[in-house]
Amino acid sequence: MGFDLSFMLVALKAALRYTPTTLLLALVPLVIGLVFGTLIALIRVFHVKWLHQLSKVFVVVVKGIPVVLLLLITYFTVIQIWDVLADKLGLSLHAKDIDMKWVAIVALSFFAIVNISEAVRGALVSVGKGQYEAAYSIGLSKLQTLRRVVLPQAFPVAIPMLSSSLIGLIKGSSLAFMVSVTDLMNGALIQATANYKFLEAYIAAAIVYWGLCILIEKCSYMLEKRLKVSQ
């Protein structure tokens, strides 16, 4: 049995139809990761009392758990605990009514927070201590130093790592089928269940993933170049 190009195009169309779901599963965790990951990075860089150790433990624990396990743990936690809480609180929303996309987003957000916190922490550490001392010497507070001096220098350094985190989220979103979410890869595979032409479906999904990753890399390079020029 030869390669069926026409079916690959059918699978490609199906993959493109579900691409917005994949982007949702990647971009929302990216935003959440940027907010909380940056906060954790700042806590660790500036050694904020007991929060420093707590955030360090969180990063180590979550970093050691594969994405697929984060998905399954989040899924079963929601399924087993939500209905109990709903009954006690008198809520009408039960686990079966929850869109599983949001369960996947929660799990991927943990992955994003940890990876982005490490990326931002590395970028913050790259800013020399002399920059802080110079800012303090002209009367800037710690917050002003961070906002006006440190972050503008650290952000361009973090862009390649943030780009890699987004690509990792896009690829990691393919595991969402384990919690009954149809993304671009599984949208393509659904087309192959009737005729078992899975090779064509996999290649169709790979083409879309390649396109997304190339676009992200290109945008990342342009943004990084523009920020460096503006400094």
> Per residue in 194-231, pLDDT tens?
888 899 999 999 999 999 999 999 998 888 887 765 55
**Domain residue spans of the chain:** 1-18+182-231, 25-172
Q: What percent of the chain has pLDDT over 90?
A: 41
Question: Does 89 have pLDDT greater than 90?
Answer: no
How much is the pLDDT for 20?
A: 94
CA dist., res. 99 & res. 117, Å (int): 28
In the predicted model, what is the mean pLDDT of the chain?
87
Which residue has better confidence, 18 or 127?
18
How much is the pLDDT for 149?
A: 80
> Per residue in 120-171, pLDDT tens?
998 888 887 777 778 778 877 777 887 778 888 888 888 889 999 999 999 9
How much is the pLDDT for 217?
A: 92
Highest mean pLDDT among 46-50, 84-88, 167-171 belongs to 167-171
Residue 27: pLDDT band by 50, 70, 90 thresholds?
A: very high
CB contact at 8 A, 200 and 3: yes
Query: CA dist 87 to 91, 93, 99, 215, Å?
Result: 6, 9, 19, 46
How much is the pLDDT for 230?
A: 56
CA angle 192, 22, 30 (to 5 degrees): 155
Q: Provide mean pLDDT across the span 92-106.
A: 82
How much is the pLDDT for 151?
A: 80
How much is the pLDDT for 1?
A: 57
- For domain 25-172, the question of CATH label 1.10.3720.10 is answered with yes
How much is the pLDDT for 131?
A: 75
Structure tokens at 80: 């087993």
Which residues have C-beta within 8 Å of that of residue 210, sequence separation ≥ 6?
Answer: none
How much is the pLDDT for 163?
A: 92
pTM summary value: 0.88
User: What is the C-alpha radius of gyration for the chain, rounded to an integer number of angstroms?
Assistant: 21
